[in-house]
Amino acid sequence: MSLPKDFQWGFATAAYQVEGATEKDGRGPTIWDKFCAVEGKIADKSDGSVACDSYNRTAEDIALLKELGATCYRFSLSWARIIPLGGRNDPINQAGIDHYVKFVDDLLEAGITPFITLLHWDVPDGIHQRYGGLLNREEFPLDFEHYSRVVYKALPKCKNWITFNEPFCSSILGYSLGYFAPGHTSDRKKSPVGDSSREPWIVGHNLLVAHGRAVKVYREEFKPTDKGQVGITLNGDYAYPWDPEDPEDVAAANRKIEFAISWFADPVYFGKYPDSMRKQLGDRLPEFTPEEEALVKGSNDFYGMNHYTADYVKHGTGEAAPEDYLGNLTTHSTNKNGDSIGPETQSFWLRPNPEGFRLLINWLSKRYGYPAIYVTENGTSIKGENDLSFEQILDDQFRVDYFRTYVHAMAKAVSEDGCNVRGYMAWSLMDNFEWAEGYETRFGVTYVAYNDGQKRTPKASAKEMQKIFKEVM
């Protein structure tokens, strides 16, 4: 069991979750700044205005990465720092560009390879207010293309680019459930605006087209000289049939992955949406124009994989509701025999199941022709971690076990199954603003003392990570 010698491993974060300094050096507002200000949207009534203060502590973060032995670091840029209002005809903020140029230079000087995500959910509020942001099929892809070009030009030393993080979450959590910014949903108790039966599919389509535009720009204008690669990061759980003897549960488990992952991956690799989605959603799922299909099909140099957990899946017994986004099925933490998918964590949606990680790597590899895969997020919260003493938090053996079993499962997918996994980035380098859960949930390998100047202290999982990778390399 071994990974290739040039395998990259490290950690991941996202701009709004760690940077803070939301009003410093000309940064504009984002949809998350506005969403956090709405009463009841964030569990502890917090926001990302300070977070981990990483904007002011890049040297400290790089020193931490170096101390932990990381060879790469995935982080996202704040679009609103670079183009505060977001649009292609809006002013560019040089201070924002300069910040990221220095950060990339400093990472490379420390021997750490940057993986940059262009957009990790924090859409500039300027374009959201101007034309509806992600809902606009004409304007959004063009503005994202422009932003991408500005960034590629400013950061030629970065060779690894990710257009979007988890478009599923932007679409479903932001425009169906209303759980994430901008909070659209058909549930009028939660939001005065939104159509959960249509908007998420429109948003997903627009994100794919915008991704295609950004990839085309990189390949035509920058790749010949910069020699980098670009892809998109998709999230998804593995799905086991609730009753493996029931053909309908077996089909539903496969459909669950298609609705979560193939919704975006099939257009990128095959130029069309999955048949299972078209069958259920009909004309609510947009059609690609010939121009859009040409932009999207083949627009991945690698597959970015975010993965945390698995589910047992039971088929639906009637017609799917208009707002259904799962694929006419239900998910369960136990199967027909009462077997649990894995132990509870602080996150209601996350139960560790390392074998599911190996199985999903194989599922993706077989469906998409064994692409180069970078695991761009993988990690766990711990039930009640935020209520433990400082010493107990640092001794996070549950997380150590999670990483060891998941990394070993990934290594088996490579060495025994022939999958082409090139890198792994643990979520997350440090505790941070966990979106709608605020600061109540911790995912970091490094403890952040939010009430003591954002002081960082590595946990056991941080110190073990290098040892875990030495076991499989």
Q: Which domains does the chain have, with CATH numbers?
A: 8-470 (3.20.20.80)
Residues 210 and 216: their CA atoms lie apart, in Å, by 10
Angle between helices 94-109 and 139-154 (to 10 degrees): 50
Q: Contact at 8 Å (CB) between 369 and 333?
A: no
Residues 309 and 238: their CA atoms lie apart, in Å, by 7
Closest CA to 453 of 22, 52, 18: 52
Active-site residue numbers?
A: 166, 377
Digit-by-digit pLDDT tens for the chain (473 residues) are: 689 999 999 999 999 999 999 999 999 999 999 999 999 999 999 999 999 999 999 999 999 999 999 999 999 999 999 999 999 999 999 999 999 999 999 999 999 999 999 999 999 999 999 999 999 999 999 999 999 999 999 999 999 999 999 999 999 999 999 999 999 999 999 999 999 999 999 999 999 999 999 999 999 999 999 999 999 999 999 999 999 999 999 999 999 999 999 999 999 999 999 999 999 999 999 999 999 999 999 999 999 999 999 999 999 999 999 999 999 999 999 999 999 999 999 999 999 999 999 999 999 999 999 999 999 999 999 999 999 999 999 999 999 999 999 999 999 999 999 999 999 999 999 999 999 999 999 999 999 999 999 999 999 999 999 999 999 99
Predicted pLDDT at 1? 67
Predicted pLDDT at 22? 98
Predicted pLDDT at 306? 99
Predicted pLDDT at 55? 98
| pTM of the full structure | 0.98
210 phi/psi in degrees, rounded to 5: -65, -40
375, amino acid identity: V
70 phi/psi in degrees, rounded to 5: -65, 140
Angle between helices 397-415 and 354-367 (to 10 degrees): 30
Neighbour count for residue 145 (Cβ, 10 Å): 21
325, amino acid identity: Y
Q: Is 384 exposed, middle or buried (0-12, 13-18, 19+ CB in 10 A)?
A: exposed
